[in-house]
Chains A and B, each alone.
Chain A
Amino acid sequence: QVQLQESGPGLVKPSETLSLTCTVSGGSVTNHYWTWIRQPPGKGLEWIALIYYSGTTKYNPSLKSRFTLSIDTSKNSVSLKLSSVTAADTAVYFCGGSIDAVYTWDTWGQGTLVTVSS
């Protein structure tokens, strides 16, 4: 059974770059495709991006181009980088995978809280 675990710094200063990692266990990162979403405090879920096993990426056009998604096969993980963070990027970030069914995100990590503050 594939399991996902997000990890990150917890606290980031404004204007810095946030780096998050989603470690995949119980399966290979190259066999499926992956996504990131986030939930700001008191708000709903927001889709950020996805990456296919080929490395092809798609991003939420409403979030401009501050996000970068990549796969690290040596660590069996997916990473998300967000540049020039602001307080508006404070959120719980979740990674998800499409494992057993196509066109759906059926496996999720528990999420990691990121706070942007000086």
Chain B
Amino acid sequence: QSALTQPASVSGSPGQSITISCTGTSSDVGGYDHVSWYQHHPGKAPKVMIYEVTYRPSGVSNRFSGSKSGHTASLTISGLQADDEADYYCASYTIDGTWVFGGGTKLTVL
């Protein structure tokens, strides 16, 4: 089981938009819409920001949005804010009935 591929880091200035990609295979991201995104501040509990590719849990800002094309899912954060600075992970259900996470992307708000 190989980790999904994410960029190691992205950055943006307050107010800007950034997009984080998450590339898998036909056995995970490409085969199912069960892709979710997690925000993680070290030492704290992960927080789901997007699930089922595009759905936002109650309480999550509409500045967060998700999409998918082929084997690649994406998380877009618009109107960047300082407290968006965190690590972001994608996760996907797989053909084996297991889950796989991405390697994580460190978002820096400049």
Chain B residues with a Cβ under 8 A of chain A: 1, 3, 34, 36, 38, 40, 43-48, 51-52, 55, 57, 87, 89, 91, 93, 96-104
Assess the A37–B98 pair: CB atoms within 8 A.
Answer: no
Assess the B100–A108 pair: CB atoms within 8 A.
Answer: no
Known A-B contacts A44-B104, A108-B45; the reply to A103 vs B51 at CB < 8 A is yes
Chain A residues with a Cβ under 8 A of chain B: 35, 37, 44-47, 50, 58-62, 92, 94, 96, 100-101, 103-106, 108-111
Q: Which residues of A contact B97 (CB under 8 A)?
A: 58
Known A-B contacts A94-B46, A101-B57; the reply to A45 vs B104 at CB < 8 A is yes
Which residue of chain B has its CB nearest to the CB of A92?
A: B43
Q: Which residues of B contact A106 (CB under 8 A)?
A: 48, 51, 57
Assess the B36–A105 pair: CB atoms within 8 A.
Answer: yes
Assess the B52–A61 pair: CB atoms within 8 A.
Answer: no
The CA of A117 and the CA of B99, in the complex, are separated in Å by 29
